[in-house]
Structure 1
Amino acid sequence: MIEYKKGYQIDSKNLKELYNSVGWIAYTQDLVGLERAITHSLYVVSAWHGEQLVGLIRVVGDGYTILYIQDILIHPDYQQQKIGTKLMCDVLETYKHVRQKVLLTVDAPNVRGFYESFGFESCDRGVAVAFYREY
């Protein structure tokens, strides 16, 4: 059974294991920075199977006019079990009053379908334009 928790109390070992499991090693090369990012997020919901962190969503923003979904990740062994759907639904319900909800992700058919199922539109198909800069 999956348990969902709101808040920031996630130890670095669990964070490292989850982020590494999906190949997001840029985050885990600076665990102190990742912990700070989690702590300074506007909202975090995590999914647990016993003592194992199996999913996480975190958002940044002001919580009134804009919300940026920074990370949503599910351990590969737990994907396709609606964990990501529950995490996303929680965020969208909690911040339903926020007009702009934004995210940036890789382009893949299953990724597009997932976000489009929540009403997100890709900027390459809509009237908005998106810009991105990574150092």
Structure 2
Amino acid sequence: MPTFSISTVSEVSEVELVDLYESVGWSAYTRQPEVLAQAVRNSSYVVAARDDRGQLLGLARAISDDSTICYVQDVLVRPAWQGNGIGRAMLASITDKYGHVRQTVLITDDEPAQRAFYQALGFTEGRDFRPEPVRVFAHFRQPG
């Protein structure tokens, strides 16, 4: 089994970020590397996965008021390392840190694998809440 370590970070270089985000095809983030780096720096909590050589394998970040809500943003793992528990470990680090808040929210792609992954970790899609489903709204803007 490949080895990796998970740790909290305060900063990741722009070069590493762009390389990681490009590896999963998230080009909307890599068009403005300085904005991506600032977003990571300004996050409430950032966790990264690295291999034994120090290569950045994955990253997850959260924005939170540390009282009522935690918004999980950008859970990503290099494709060659997916399926090794990295995403699960990074998300567990976030949910452990913010286990005391009422809501943990994330928005992700509409793909069956995404749904299965997050459901396996205890997340419920808004339309599946019971007794009443909830609506989730988002407004995405194109960078200017």
Which interval holds the TM-score relative to the shorter structure?
over 0.9
Identity level (%): 36
Which deviations, in whole Å up to 9, do the C-alpha atoms of 1:78-108 show, x marking residues without a partner?
Answer: 0000001111111111111011000001111
TM-score (norm 1): 0.96
Alignment of 1:1-135 (within 5 A): 1-49=3-51, 50-126=53-129, 127-135=133-141
Q: CA deviation at 1:56?
A: 0.5
Q: Which has the larger radius of gyration?
A: 2
TM-score (norm 2): 0.90
> How many matched pairs?
135
Structure 1: stretches of 5+ with no match in the other structure: none
Divergent runs of 4+, >2 A: none
Answer whether contact 2:77 2:86 (CA < 8 A) is retained.
yes
What amino acid does structure 1 have at the position aligned with 2:116? G
Secondary structure of the structure 1 residue equivalent to 2:137: coil
Give, in whole Å, the separation in 1 of the partners of 2:139 and 2:121. Answer: 26
Give the alignment's Cα RMSD to 1 decimal.
0.9
Structure 2: stretches of 5+ with no match in the other structure: none
Answer whether contact 2:11 2:40 (CA < 8 A) is retained.
no
What amino acid does structure 2 have at the position aligned with 1:131? F
